[in-house]
Amino acid sequence: MSEAVAGLLSSLERVLLDAATIQRRVADMARRIADDFKGRELSVVTLMDGALFFVADLLRAIDLPVRLHTLTVSSYHGGTKSTGRVQLARALPFDLTTRHVLLIDDILDTGLTLATVRDRILAECAPETLRVAVLLSKRRPREREVPVDYVGFEIDDEFVVGYGMDYQGHYRNLPCIGILNPLHPPRP
């Protein structure tokens, strides 16, 4: 383990999901998705930046032709609570008409982000299929209900970092997912 990663690890309150557990679950999800979309080309739309590591691992394990589109959205704006505002560019920068689409995010929390993007895809394109995958789903009431087809792990309603997920830009390169120690300042 690199010194940088060891430093990040030591500033966590605890590890929730270790790297091997995440990798096993991602491989399971990839197999299920490949079965469900068998014989088709998958058009993935992923939300940056939190889902980056998850999508990179998931797509390499899906045994299907894949196209990748990214969207940058933000509802946290640097803190540990959703602001309730989802910012999205005016028009989607791709056309998904007649495609088999898998929308992927890192975490389902209030549901606002995925609901907003899903509504936009359905309003602007006519995909043949539209399914949703998340690595983590928080056990909490949703502000918007979103139909989610693939969930990696259900977790309690706590702020998590690692495996792509950040706190103020830090912790993304942790191979595990952990709970941030609220008393510990983010490491440079």
Q: Name which of 39 and 141 has its Cβ closer to ligand 5GP.
A: 141
- Please choose which of ligand 5GP, Mg ion, none residue 165 contacts, taking the beta carbon within 5 to 8 angstroms, the exact cut-off set by kind: ligand 5GP
CB of 67 to ligand 5GP, least distance (A): 21
Query: Does residue 57 have an active-site annotation?
Result: no
Look up residue 147 and give its amino acid: P
- Please choose which of ligand 5GP, Mg ion, none residue 76 contacts, taking the beta carbon within 5 to 8 angstroms, the exact cut-off set by kind: ligand 5GP
Q: Extract the tokens encoding 98.
A: 């007649």
Q: Name which of 102 and 112 has its Cβ closer to ligand 5GP.
A: 112
Q: Extract the tokens encoding 62.
A: 């899906």
Site residues (CB under 6 A) for ligand 5GP, limited to 112-131: 112-113
Maximum Cα interatomic distance, the chain, rounded to a whole number of Å: 50
Q: CA 151 from chain center: how many Å? A: 10
Residue with tokens 């060891």: 6
Q: Name which of 80 and 98 has its Cβ closer to ligand 5GP.
A: 80
Distance between CA 153 and CA 107 in Å, rounded?
A: 10
Per-residue contact flags (x/-) with Mg ion for residues 37 to 66, judged by CB under 5 A? -------------x----------------
Q: Name which of 18 and 41 has its Cβ closer to ligand 5GP.
A: 18
Per-residue contact flags (x/-) with ligand 5GP for residues 55 to 94, judged by CB under 6 A? --------------------xx-----x------------
**Percent helix, strand and coil across the chain, each to the nearest 5:** 25, 30, 45
Q: Can the peptide bond before residue 157 be classed as cis, meaning omega within 30 degrees of 0? A: no
* C-beta separation of 180 from 167 below 8 A: yes
